Structure 1
Amino acid sequence: MTTPNDTTERPGRKLGLFAAIALVVGNMIGSGVFLLPASLAPFGWNAVFGWLVTIAGTLVLAWLLAVLTKALPAARDPMGFVEEGFGEVAAFLVAWIYWVSVWTAVVSIAVAAISYLSAFVPWIGATPMAPALCSIALVWAMTLINLRGVHAAGNFQILTVVLKTLPLLAVIVVAAIVLGNGSAEIRPYEAATINGTDLRGAATLTLFALLGFECASLAAAQVENPEVNVPRATMWGTALTGLIYLLVCSAVALMLPEAEAVASPAPLASFVARYWSEEAASLVTVFAIISCVGAINGWVLMQGELPRNMAMRRMLPTWFARTDARGTPLQALIASSVIATLCLLLNASRSMQAIYEFVLLLSTSAALWLYLACALAAWRLRIARMVALPGAVYAVWTLWGAGWEASGWSLVLMLAGLPLYWWARRR
C-alpha cells in the first residue's frame, strides 16, 4: 500500500492519448444524446444555433484548460489552477462541489441505464426498489473494473466509446443518404422564428450534454505526458463530441415531424425506424445502455481520482490518498461509490424519472462552478485573458440558465464542505 507522499511513476499503468480522449468523449456522451432531440424538437432552428453557441462556449473553456495546463504544469489540474489564482480555500470549495457533481452524475447515469434496460426486462420498472437496487449493482460493477487499475478502466472506456458512437454515426449516415436521394427533407429555415428566448432555452438544454470535457485535466496525474496529452485530449475530445451532437440532434430535430419527435421516448430509435428499419431501431436501445455504462465507468474513475488529489493537497484526510500496488485509489473509490449507493437508497421510493431529474440538475449546476473558477483564475494570473473573459461570461450565463434554485443549492452544498476541510487541515 503506497502512502500519499509516494510519487513513484508507473507509465505503463497510465492513460495514453487515445485513452484520455476516450475518457473525455465517453464521459460527455452518456444518456443525454439519446433523449435530447425530443426536448430540442420544439425549438426548430433555434436548437441548431443553440448547439453552435454552446459548443463554441465549451471549446473556449476547453482551450482555456489546455492553456492553463501548459502554462502551469506544476499545478497539474483545475484544482491547482484555482489554488494558484485564489488560494487553497477557494480550490477546496471548487473541488468539493465538483466531487458532489461527479457522484451525482454517476447516480443519474446509472438510473438512466436501468431505465433503458427496463424496456427489455419489464419487471424492473414494475417492482418497488428494483430500479434503485439494479442501479446500485451497476455502480459497483463499474467500481470493480476501476479497482483493477486505471489501465483496465481506460481499455474498457475505449471499447465502450467505439460501441456507443456506432448508432450516432448511423444516424448521421442515414440522414445524409435520405437527404441526398430526396426521400426526406428538413424543416424549412425561417429567420423570423429565431429569437433570444428560444435560443437561450435550447442552449441551456444542450449545455447538460456537454459536461465532462474537463475530465482529462482532472485526471492529469493518471495520464502519460500530461503537459502534451491532456490539452490534446481536452480539445480533440470536446470538438469531436460537439460535432457528433450537432449533427445527430439537428438531424433528428429537423427531419422528424415535431409531434413525433416530442412524443417519442426514444427519438433516435424513432428516427432510425422511420428512415431505415424497425430492427435497426431496436438496437438503438442496446447501444444506449452501452453508452450509459461507458459513461459510468469514466465518472467512477473520476470519483476516485478527485478525492485522492484533494487528499494529496491535504484538503481531505490522507486516508483518501492511499493507493494499492497498481496505483489505484482503492479507499477513495470505495468511499465515493458508497456515497452514490446511499444517494440511490435515499431516493429508492421515487420513480426512475424522478430520481434522474433530481440528481441531474444538481450535478450540472455543481460542475459549472469549476468552469467559472478556472476562467477567473486565468484572468487573475494574466493567462490567455482574451479567452478567460468570454469563458467567465459564458460560465455565468450557463449558471443563470441552470436556474437559481439549482445554482443556489449547489452553492449551499459547496459551503457545507468547509468543516471537513478545517478538520483535515487541523489533523
Structure 2
Amino acid sequence: MAEQPKKMNLVQLTFIVAVNMMGSGIIMLPTNMAKVGAISLLSWIVTALGSMAIAYGFAQAGIFNQRPGGMSAYAEDAYGKSGYFLVFLLYFLSLAIGNVAIGISAVGYLASFFPWLASTPVATCLGVIVLLWLTTVANFGGPSVTGRIGSFTVWGVIIPVGMLSIIGWFWFSPTIFAAAWNPHGLSLAEGMGSSIALTLWAFLGMESAAQNSSAVENPKRDVPLACLFGTLGAAVVYILSTTVIQGIVPNEELAKSTGPFGLAYAHMFSPVVGSIIMILAIVACLGSLLGWQFTIAQTGKSAADERMFPAFFTKVNSMGAPITGMIVLGIVQSLLALMTISPTLSEQFAALVNLAVVTNVLPYIISLSALIIMMKTAGVSQGKYRLNVAVVLVAMLYSTYALYASGHSAVMGGMLVTALAFIIWGFIAPRFSANTQTAGKFASTAHGLAAE
C-alpha cells in the first residue's frame, strides 16, 4: 500500500501563512507613514485586529466550502454566479493594481542607484512600465521556474525587515521618535485612521491562508489557528519594524526616502550595508512581481475556463504560460501606471494602494457575508454559529471602515469598477444554463399571466 504523503502541522502552516503575507507589501510603508508622523503607527492596532478577524472568517469559510475559486466560491453560496463573477473581477483587478504598486516599490529602491528614475513623474512611470513588461515576458517560460524564484526572493524583504524588528532597537532614539510622533497636530482618532488603507495593504493575501486545508493534518483545528497565529506573527513584525525605523531615521528624512529600509540600515551601519539591503529589496520586489504576474494570468485563465472571462485567456503556449492573457494584462497594468501618475513616487504608491484596498475589501465583505448561509446549511452548533457571526461581523465592519479610510477618489474608482462589473455580467449571465432556465420560467409565467 502506497505511503500517504506527510501533511503539514500547525507550526508549518502558521509559518506559510506569515510568509505569504509579508512579501513586498511592507517595504514602502515607512515612507508613507512618516508623511503623517509616527502617530500613524496607531493604525496598526486597528488593522491587526481587523485582519485577524478577516483571516479567521476565511479560515472558517474554507472549512465549509472547499470548492475551487476561494472567495468567489464562497460568494457563490449566497449570491449565485453573479456573486462569483463580481468577487472574481474585483479581486482580479486588485491584483493588477497591486502589481503596479509592487513595481513602484521596486523603482523606489532602484532610484537609490539611478536617481533619474525618481526625478520626474514621467521617468518613474516609465520605469514601472518597463519592470511590468520585463516580468511579464519572463513568465512566458511557464510556471516551473516562476514559483521557485518567488519562494526564494521573498526572503530579500523578510530577512532585513525581520532583523530590523529585533536588532534595530539598539539604534533606537527616543528623541528622534518623539520628534516624529505628531508633526501635523492630528487628534488620536485621526492618527489611528490615518493609515488604515496603507497598513491593510501589508496584510492583503491573507485570504489565501485557507487554500491549503487539504494538505493539513487537522484542518478544522489547525487552519483557523494558523490563520490567526500567522496574521498575528506578521502583525508583530510589521509593528516592530515600522516603529523602530521611526526612532532611527529622522521623520523628515524618512518621509522623503524612496528606500526606507535601506536608509535605516545605512544609519545603523554604513551606506554600503544600506546599499546591500536596497539590492535585496529590489530582488524581492522583482521576484514577487514575477510570481504575481503569473498568478493573475492564471486567475484569468481559470475564470475563462468557467466561461466568465474572454476565451483568449485560456490559450497557453507549449510551456503552459497563458501568453495572450499576460500581454493583455501587461497593457492594462501599463494604463494603470499612466492613470495614477503623481508628483512623487510615494504619492503614486499611496494612490495605488488605496485603490487596491477598495477593490480587495469589497470581495472580503461579499464573500465573508456568505459564511452565515454556509453555517446554516452545515447545521453547526448554536455556540459555533454565534462565535463565527460575531468575529465575521467585526471583520466586515472593519472592512467597511477600511473602505471609508481609503479616501473619496479610491472609493469612487471602486464604485465605477463595480458598476462596470454588473454591466459586463449582464452579457455573461445567459451563458449559464441555470440562469437561462430561470429566465425561461419567468418568461413562461409572465406569458401565462398575460394569457389569463
Range class of TM-score, shorter chain: 0.7 to 0.9
**How many pairs were matched up?**
404
Shift of 1:237: 5.0
CA–CA distance in structure 1, aligned partners of residues 371 and 213 of structure 2: 23
After superposition, the C-alpha distances for 1:41-82 in whole angstroms (9 at most, x for unaligned) are 476674444212211211211121121111111255110000
The corresponding residue for 1:396 is 400
User: Match of 2:366, SS?
Assistant: helix
User: Which position in structure 1 is the counterpart of 2:113?
Assistant: 120
Question: How far did 1:296 drift?
Answer: 1.3
1:381 to 374, 387, 390: 374
Q: Secondary structure of the equivalent of 1:314?
A: coil
Q: 1:115 to 1:263 in 2, by over 3 A?
A: closer
Which deviates more, 170-179 or 151-160? 170-179
The normalised TM-score by structure 2 is 0.75
State the shift of 1:337 in Å: 2.3
Q: Distance in 1 between matches of 2:137 and 2:360?
A: 25
Preserved contact between residue 316 and residue 323 of structure 2 (Cα < 8 Å) = yes
Matched, 1:29 2:33: no
- Structure 1 pair 118/75, CA: closer, same or farther in 2 (3 Å)? closer
Matches within 5 A, 1:228-243: 237-243=230-236
1:209 is aligned to 202
Residue type at the aligned position of 2:369: L
Over 3 Å counting, the alpha-carbon distance change for 1:423 and 1:293 in structure 2 is same
In structure 2, the partner of 1:62 is 55
1: CA distance between counterparts of 2:308 and 2:269?
Answer: 54
- Equivalent in the alignment of 1:412: 416
**Aligned mates of 1:44, 1:363 — CA distance in 2:** 23
SS at match of 2:47: helix
Greater mean alpha carbon deviation, residues 145-154 or residues 387-396: 145-154
Which stretches in structure 2 are left out of the alignment for 5+ residues?
6-10, 376-384, 432-452
What is the one-letter code of the residue matched to 1:65? F
Is residue 108 of structure 1 aligned with residue 101 of structure 2?
A: yes
Q: Which residue of the partner structure matches residue 71 of structure 2?
A: 78
Superposed displacement of residue 416, structure 1: 0.6
Partner of 2:436: none
TM-score, length-normalised on structure 1? 0.79
Cα distance change on mapping 1:311 and 1:23 into 2, 3 Å: farther
Whole-angstrom CA distance in 2 between matches of 1:123 and 1:378: 50
Measured in 1, the distance between the counterparts of 2:38 and 2:100 equals 32
Superimposed CA distance per residue, residues 267-297 of structure 1 (whole angstroms, 9 cap, x where no aligned partner): 3333323332222122232223223213312
2:427: which partner in 1?
A: 423
Deviation of 1:398 (Å): 0.7
- 2:382 is matched with none
Equivalent pair of 1:27/1:299 in contact (CA under 8 Å): no
After TM superposition, list the pairs within 5 Å mapping 1:220-259 onto structure 2: 220=211, 225=215, 237-259=230-252
Moved more, 408-417 or 205-214: 205-214
- Whether the 8 Å CA contact 1:110–1:135 is kept in 2: the answer is yes
Tell whether 2:363 aligns with 1:370: yes
Q: Specify the code of the residue in structure 2 equivalent to 1:61.
A: I
SS in structure 2 at match of 1:157 = helix
Amino acid at match of 1:410: G
**Amino acid in the other structure paired with 2:75:** V
Deviations 1:321-341 (A, max 9, x none): 455566544443333223223
Q: Which residue of 1 aligns with 2:263?
A: 270
Distance 1:232 1:151 in 2: 31
1:306 aligns with 2:310: no
Deviations along 1:360-397, one digit per CA (max 9) or x if unpaired, are: 33222111111111221113433632321111111111
CA RMSD of aligned residues (A): 3.8
Query: Structure 1 residue 353: deviation in Å?
Result: 5.3
Asked whether the equivalents of residues 178 and 184 of structure 1 are also in contact (C-alpha less than 8 Å), the reply is no
Structure 1: which 5+ runs fail to align? 1-10, 12-16
Map 1:274-353; keep pairs closer than 5 Å.
274-323=267-316, 328-344=321-337, 352=345
Aligned to 2:148: 155
Task: Find the aligned partners of 2:389 and 2:361 in 1 and give their Cα distance.
Answer: 19
The counterpart of 1:166, out of the listed 134, 138, 159, is 159
**1:238 CA drift (Å):** 3.3
Deviations 1:128-166 (A, max 9, x none): 965444433322332344443434222111111122222
User: Any conservation in 2 of the 1:26–1:294 contact (CA below 8 Å)?
Assistant: no
CA distance in 1, matches of 2:176, 2:132: 40
Give the whole-Å Cα distance in 2 for the aligned partners of 1:100 and 1:395.
Answer: 18
Say if 1:175 and 1:238 are closer, same or farther in 2 by CA, change over 3 A: same
- Change in Cα spacing, 1:54 to 1:271, as seen in structure 2 (3 Å) is same
Give the conservation status (yes or no) of the 8 Å contact 2:125–2:337.
yes
Query: What is the CA-CA distance between 1:426 and the residue it aligns to?
Result: 3.9
The residue identity in structure 1 corresponding to 2:49 is A
Checking the alignment, whether the CA contact within 8 Å between 1:38 and 1:253 is kept in structure 2 is no
**Closer/same/farther in 2, CA of residues 106 and 76 from structure 1, 3 Å limit:** closer
**Distance in 2 between residues matched to 1:264 and 1:128, nearest whole Å:** 15
Greater C-alpha radius of gyration: 2
Amino acid paired to 2:332:
I
Distance, in Å, in 2 between the alignment partners of 1:121 and 1:44 is 28
- With over 3 angstroms needed to count, the CA separation of the structure-2 counterparts of 1:409 and 1:110, relative to structure 1, is same
- String of CA shifts for 1:154-198, please: whole Å, max 9, x gaps: 21111111222222133223324446xxx87784799xx982221
Distance 1:269 1:348, change over 3 A: closer
Q: Which deviates more, 79-88 or 276-285?
A: 276-285
Q: Which amino acid aligns with 1:423?
A: F
